[in-house]
Amino acid sequence: MGAASSVSQASIAAFDEMRAEDGVRAAYAEIDRWLRTTPREQLDAKRREAELLFRRIGITFAVYGEGGDPERLIPFDIIPRIIARAEWERLARGLRQRVRALNAFLADVYGRQEIIRGGRIPAPLVLGNEGYRPEMVGMLPPGGVYTHVAGIDMVRTGPDAFYVLEDNCRTPSGVSYMLENREAMLRLFPKLCAQHRVAPVSRYPEELLETLKAVAPARAGAHPCVVLLTPGPYNSAYYEHCFLADEMGIEVVEGADLCVDDDVVCMRTTAGPKRVDVIYRRIDDEFLDPKAFRADSLVGVPGLMAAYRAGNVALANAPGAGIADDKAIYPYVPEMVRFYLGEEPLLANVPTFLCDREEDRKYVLGNLDKLVVKLAKGSGGYGMMIGPHATRDVREEFRARILARPGDYIAQPTLALSTCPTVVEQGIAPRHVDLRPFILSGKEVRIVPGGLTRVAIREGSLVVNSSQGGGTKDTWILEDDGPGEAGFQSQSQSMGG
Amino acid sequence: MLSRTADSLFWVARYTERAGNVARGLGVASRMAAVSARLGAEPDEWRSLLTASGGDADFYRKYEAPTADLVVTWLIFDPDNASGILSCIEAARRNARAVRTALTVDMWEALNDTWNHLRALPPEAMEGERLADFLGWVRERVTLFNGAAHDTMLRNEAWRFVHLGTMLERADNTARLLDVKHHLLTAEAEGAVDYVQWQAVLRSVSALRSYQWIYRDRLNPHRIAELMILRPELPRSLMACFAEVAETLEAIALGQGGRRGECHRLAGTLAAQLRYGRIETILAEGLHAYLTAMIERVADLGAEIDAFYIRP
């Protein structure tokens, strides 16, 4: 990178999931044929149809305070991203293992703290962390589960090279896109779907409900009352909250719909107060209970934490689960796998430099043009710098910021994220993607085969976050046991004659 | 069901119904204005429509006199008028969005499509020659929403609160429309203007043909009042609306093991009074006083429903 003053969008040689060096990869054979034989106008027409569909159903995410239409669509790319069953199985095994280790870590840091006492992770990193909730110390949530719904962001750099980019253990969103994208594909391209044997994702809501029921307090019996707690219609993921609750057949409640009396949580109904057993909360820890956390929270439920501690209600995910997905804790996850499970980690981490460590910081400051620098507490792609794409000025600004507050920053090598064919203005072109599968932990760990594929629509861009102009794709896990069975011929009226 | 959900469902229905009623009122008034311009009574039409919409105080804070253009603008898309068509659809959709899961897909799409279309519509598309088409379209959309609710909702509490909202709003609207024309229905004089006015009153509740089917006779002001207040056959009569309100509240109570309150007593009393009422008695006591009391009792009933089910 010699002439570093200009913004370089030089594309990094990336693994293309459809085209390997020796031609089209097997899983993409049908897609390749479809793309070659479908006229551009037809794809464009389908693309417009898809947008209309999403607008009509109201699948929007809300962006307030930026002007313009507050209800925006996330761009949907109509070319599916294909993952072969064998690749998926390997991934899924690794995901299960990782989430088991994350839950074990959470139980430990709020319990006996053996990993700290064993010297495997520095105490201040955990106990001094913003994500650490001392309120959780000494209480065991029902079933011992903390992160009931985890979203693990995966990136790929080669045929067999998958990395975990980050863990999301608090309230990961995006699963409604996994489900609605599939519905849209089935409606727009029934034939293409039928030609593939795509693993269905539609049972996710049922699995989620099972997971939530499994952690209900014992007193609740066979039919616990499960609700979804939302901050309300102004939250960017409100559509998803309603969608999931509807699919599960449970109520979507806001803080004001719940009240706590004598450590028992009830919702206000037309027939009077009704007792609640499990709360799938999509509100951040800080806002859950103004009596326990931020006193100015208007969306929380006063007294909720006391009811939780009394064992009268289950919260999913548990407060304090965020300590496990902190970017400064992330480098230690492989160690957690070894420590708690006695296994070698199946999923690799991206090498990560903690700017708080002197040695790491020295390396980071000397290689700013090669690294991605992120806020340790950030999310949504805000406040990050992609070294190879940044101007000298931006790099210098980050140098100053790192020196001022080293603990706030981490750095990772710039990965050549894999690409998938994507419909863009100029035609069909490769664009970088990532993958967020959703892992459910209740009595057992469950994963629906699929996930949310996010795609960076801008050429050369490595940022896939929807808040930064990223789009989504349907993700197809292909069953590879040969062609589908022919259906029975349907009966028709016989014509006499 | 959640109290907040019941509240939103009730208001989705009320606001949608109100948008349709404003469109009805506007349609009839502009038709009347076209007729009475020749007869010199045009401004009265707009003034009485404004009064019926219940927002005349707000209007006079902003404008001086109710000209045709101003009233049309006010009742369709003035953001300061909470009971304007645009405001109503927006409020209905806002409530619908807050309880997406309690609505059926058909109801949501009917409302969401209306809102998406409406907010993209240029003001020219609602004016002049195109006003009648626009108002017809609004009524169609409201009918579609009501039909979607009627055809696709499970007959549970969600449906009952929607239906309650529709019926209470409809009763309120009929009472208001009738009240602004009460002098026509009690006056002795019968002229050409009155005849057109009577037609207009009936038209505003889609009852011109119904009148003929029921009475098989020429228009008569007492019968018009009777039809709109007491006849159970007319779906927009006060009797028909309150019968539905009382029945629906009763159904909610039965679903909750017989839990009842002041709203049930009030609705039952109103329905019974209408059921056994005589038009002669009402007219003798004064139509205006009767209708004013009716509008107040609709408001009381709304408050009692709120106090019992929503914010106890």
Q: What is the pLDDT of residue B185?
A: 79
Contacts of B98 in chain A (CB under 8 A): 232-233
Q: What is the pLDDT of residue A380?
A: 59
ipTM: 0.83
A271 touches chain B (CB under 8 A): yes
Return d(Cα A450, Cα A222) in angstroms, integer. Answer: 30
A240 touches chain B (CB under 8 A): no
Find the mean pLDDT for residues A449-459.
Answer: 93
B156 touches chain A (CB under 8 A): no
Instruction: Please name the amino acid found at residue A495.
Output: M
Q: What is the pLDDT of residue B67?
A: 87
Provide the residue ranges of all domains of chain B, joining segments of one domain with +. Answer: 1-153, 155-312
Q: What is the pLDDT of residue A54?
A: 83
Closest Cβ–Cβ partner in B3, B101, B310 for A246: B101
Q: Which residue has the tokens 């006391």?
A: A306
Q: What is the pLDDT of residue A379?
A: 61
Return d(Cα B13, Cα B166) in angstroms, integer. Answer: 5
Q: What is the pLDDT of residues B75-105, one digit of tens each?
A: 998 989 999 999 999 999 999 988 887 899 8
* Beta bridge pairs of residue A198: A478
**What average pLDDT does the structure give for chain B?**
91
Yes or no, beta carbons of B310 and A257 under 8 Å apart: no
Return d(Cα A48, Cα A29) in angstroms, integer. Answer: 25
Q: How confident is the model at residue A10 (pLDDT cuts 50, 70, 90)?
A: very low
The least confident of A70-74, A102-106, A382-386, A437-441 is A70-74
**What average pLDDT does the structure give for chain A?**
89
B210, B233 Cβ separation under 8 angstroms: yes
Yes or no, beta carbons of A56 and B109 under 8 Å apart: yes
pTM of the model: 0.82
Yes or no, beta carbons of B256 and A256 under 8 Å apart: no
φ, ψ of residue A120 in degrees (nearest 5): -85, -20
Contacts of A251 in chain B (CB under 8 A): 1-2, 5
Contacts of A55 in chain B (CB under 8 A): 116
Q: What is the pLDDT of residue A66?
A: 58
Q: What is the pLDDT of residues A322-356, one digit of tens each?
A: 999 998 899 999 999 999 999 999 999 999 999 98
Q: Is the pLDDT at A9 greater than 60, yes or no?
A: no
Yes or no, beta carbons of B112 and A256 under 8 Å apart: no
Closest Cβ–Cβ partner in B1, B3, B100 for A242: B100
- Run of H or E including A339: none
Q: In percent, how much of chain A has pLDDT > 90?
A: 73
Of the residues A180, A228, A265, A270, the best mutation for testing chain B's interface (the one with the most B CB atoms within 10 Å of its CB) is A270
Q: Is the pLDDT at A3 greater than 50, yes or no?
A: no
Q: Provide the shortest C-alpha distance from residue B172 to chain A (in Å).
A: 24
Residue B253 DSSP symbol: H
Q: Is the pLDDT at B143 greater than 60, yes or no?
A: yes
Q: How confident is the model at residue A265 (pLDDT cuts 50, 70, 90)?
A: very high
Query: How is residue B11 written in tokens?
Result: 């208001």
Q: Is the pLDDT at A495 greater than 80, yes or no?
A: no
Q: What is the pLDDT of residue B41?
A: 66
- The number of CA neighbours under 13 Å toward the Cβ of A151 is 16
Q: Is the pLDDT at A483 greater than 60, yes or no?
A: no
Find the mean pLDDT for residues A69-75.
Answer: 75
Q: What is the pLDDT of residue A112?
A: 95
The least confident of A1-15, A76-90, A289-303, B279-293 is A1-15
Q: Is the pLDDT at A486 greater than 50, yes or no?
A: no
Contacts of B158 in chain A (CB under 8 A): none
Q: Is the pLDDT at A69 greater than 70, yes or no?
A: no
Yes or no, beta carbons of B3 and A257 under 8 Å apart: yes
A384, A375 Cβ separation under 8 angstroms: yes
A219 touches chain B (CB under 8 A): no
| A317 preceded by a cis bond (ω within 30 of 0) | yes
Nearest residue of A to residue B256, measured between CA atoms: A271
Closest Cβ–Cβ partner in B101, B108, B161 for A252: B101
Residues 6+ apart with CB under 8 A from A67: none
Handedness of CA B227, B233, B236, B242 (dihedral sign): positive
Yes or no, beta carbons of A269 and B97 under 8 Å apart: no
B8 touches chain A (CB under 8 A): no
Q: Provide the shortest C-alpha distance from residue A286 to chain B (in Å).
A: 23
Residues 6+ apart with CB under 8 A from B169: B13, B14, B17, B18, B21
B256 touches chain A (CB under 8 A): yes
Yes or no, beta carbons of B2 and A269 under 8 Å apart: yes
Q: What is the pLDDT of residue A2?
A: 33
Contacts of A271 in chain B (CB under 8 A): 1, 256, 259
Q: What is the pLDDT of residue B37?
A: 61
Q: Provide the shortest C-alpha distance from residue A433 to chain B (in Å).
A: 32
Yes or no, beta carbons of B256 and A252 under 8 Å apart: no
The least confident of A219-228, B15-24, B52-61, B241-250 is B52-61
Yes or no, beta carbons of A270 and B112 under 8 Å apart: no
HEC readout, B202-249: HHHCCCHHHHHHHHCCCCCHHHHHHHHHHCCCCCCCHHHHHHHHHHHH
Q: Is the pLDDT at A167 greater than 90, yes or no?
A: yes
Return d(Cα A313, Cα A292) in angstroms, integer. Answer: 16
Find the mean pLDDT for residues A135-149.
Answer: 92
Q: What is the pLDDT of residue A64?
A: 58
Yes or no, beta carbons of B252 and A245 under 8 Å apart: no
β-strands A385-386, A371-375 pairing: antiparallel
Contacts of B3 in chain A (CB under 8 A): 257, 268-270
How far is the CA of A113 from the CAs of A108, A343, A489, B120, in angstroms?
Answer: 5, 20, 63, 59
Q: Provide the shortest C-alpha distance from residue A201 to chain B (in Å).
A: 21
Crossing angle of helices B192-204 and B208-215, in 10° steps, is 100
Our measurement of the distance from residue A259's CA atom to the centroid of its chain's CA atoms, rounded to an integer in Å, reads 30
A1 vs A89, more confident: A89
Find the mean pLDDT for residues B179-194.
Answer: 72
Yes or no, beta carbons of A270 and B252 under 8 Å apart: yes
Q: What is the pLDDT of residues A186-208, one digit of tens each?
A: 999 999 999 999 999 999 999 99
Find the mean pLDDT for residues A140-164.
Answer: 94
Query: How is residue A484 written in tokens?
Result: 């589908």
32-71 in A: which are within 8 Å (CB) of B?
A: 55-58
Nearest residue of A to residue B111, measured between CA atoms: A56
HEC readout, A159-195: CCEEEEEEEECCCCCCHHHHHHHHHHHHHHCHHHHHH
Q: What is the pLDDT of residues A282-323, one digit of tens each?
A: 999 999 999 999 999 889 999 999 999 999 999 999 999 999
